[in-house]
Amino acid sequence: MDDSTRFSLIYFTYFAALSGFGTFRNVYLEDIGMTGFEMGMLGAIITVFAVVAQPVWGVVTDWRGAQREILLVAAAVTAVAVLFYPLGPRFEATFLVIAFGTMLYALFHAPITPITDSLVLSTSTFYGRVRAFGSLAFGLGSLFYGFAIAELGSSLIFYLYSVGMVALIAIAWNIPSREENPIDVVGREAVELFTSRDYILLLASAFLVGVTLLSGNDFFSVYMRDIGGTDATTGVAWFVLTLVEVAAFVYLFRFIRRYRLLLALGAFAYAAKYAVYFFVSDPTLIVASHLLTGVSFAAFYLAAVSLANALAPTALKSTAQTVLWSATFGIGAGVGHLLAGHLHDAVGVQAMYGYLAVIAAAGGLVALLIRSDAAGVSEESEALVSRG
């Protein structure tokens, strides 16, 4: 199996499994009678423990050259950890059982995506093309689970996640091992990485976009109902956004090759998307707007992981990705959830998006301060290299 096929399958399998757990976890918790506070606590556990774990995973991975081994272990442990959810109601201390499983999941879930990104970027594989399979899988998976849990129950999402991780282990089993790096080299290059002006600016931009990214997504269904849309319209809006996102992952480098410019585009696209939510109250126009603003995540993520890889010293490629992930989906997302919740109660969900638009735009401005001229090759150039 060639690298492109292997990594495409890894992304597709992982995000297909994750789409059920990530999208419908709270539906299951509501079904078993948990309160909103308990749901929030479990979400906080995932965020906090992942933030703490990610940099540690990155350093250990680079030091021991253990990308493949950690990916396999992480998939295996999370496959078991999610089963604490359907196991929990069998015990009187249901919340504590599920909280333990959530903590275990968070600790080992943390390195899966950033380490996979690092592995792909260390090969000649065209990153955008293979990462698009993850977005496609998440969109199709969310659609599938929406219908399936109505017939088979919401606990289905945990069993299928476990099955997906077993499949991921089988696909990733033959990934070549990497060389170890002496700890003194890791330490020296860590100083170089974390004193890099451009890397610090990348983390700052990623943090600002991260504040808006997950919180903006989580409140979207509430927003659509608030402006008179239906849950079906929300589903269509997500589907349109996913299709645009997949195309953007594949083709964006044909048009914008400089990472810092693509990063800024992603941030400004988020700002534009949230500005539309703020100013528009027509569900049909919101769906149509995704034909343009749907590039937001693909542009931001494609640029961020590629730039982190370009800026990272040779021995710290995985660390650069895990710290970036922590800044965006960990610390940034945690602050964003708190801020969005406060704004929702204080000014309403539609006005909340106006504030998120400003924050995302600030992330774009910070991205423009990056000096690096690092750029990706176009898909056509990549094909020529492969044939050569």
DSSP string, 190-244: HHHHHT-HHHHHHHHHHHHHHHHHHHHHHTHHHHHHHTT--HHHHHHHHHHHHHH
Helices (H) and strands (E) in the chain, counts: 19, 0
- For residue 321, give every residue at least 6 positions away whose Cβ sits within 8 Å of its Cβ, in sequence order, or none: 58, 114, 115, 117, 118, 305, 308, 309, 312
In a shared domain, residues 298 and 370: yes
In a shared domain, residues 170 and 222: no
- How far, in Å, CA of 343 to CA of 297, rounded? 23
Please name every residue paired with 258 in a beta bridge, in sequence order, or none if there are none: 375
What single-letter DSSP state applies at residue 326?
A: I
In a shared domain, residues 13 and 78: yes
In a shared domain, residues 288 and 306: yes
In a shared domain, residues 31 and 106: yes
Q: Is the pLDDT of residue 146 over 80?
A: no
- Of 216, 339, 202, nearest to 271 by C-alpha is 216
In a shared domain, residues 130 and 196: no
- Of 81, 80, 60, nearest to 70 by C-alpha is 60
The structural domain count of the chain equals 2
In a shared domain, residues 66 and 171: yes
pLDDT, one tens digit per residue, over 366-380 is: 999 999 998 886 544
- Give me the phi and psi of 91, to 5 degrees please: -115, 150
In a shared domain, residues 210 and 284: yes
- How far, in Å, CA of 107 to CA of 43, rounded? 13
The mean pLDDT value of the chain amounts to: 88
pLDDT, one tens digit per residue, over 335-376 is: 888 888 888 888 988 999 999 999 999 999 999 999 999 888
In a shared domain, residues 172 and 223: no
In a shared domain, residues 355 and 248: yes
The owner of tokens 């002496």 is 182
Please name every residue paired with 375 in a beta bridge, in sequence order, or none if there are none: 258
Q: Which domain holds residue 330?
A: 183-388
Tokens describing residue 105: 């999941």
pLDDT, one tens digit per residue, over 183-235 is: 777 788 888 988 999 999 999 999 999 999 988 887 887 788 889 987 678 77
Q: How far is residue 232 CA from its own chain's centroid?
A: 24
Q: Report yes or no on whether pTM surpasses 0.75.
A: yes
The CATH code of the domain that includes 61 is: 1.20.1250.20
Single residue among 180, 203, 222 that ends a domain in this structure? 180
Contact 324, 308 (CB under 8 A): yes
Single residue among 124, 157, 180 that ends a domain in this structure? 180
Single residue among 156, 180, 204 that ends a domain in this structure? 180
**279-222-350 Cα angle (round to 5):** 25
- Of 220, 202, 209, 200, nearest to 361 by C-alpha is 209
In a shared domain, residues 15 and 162: yes
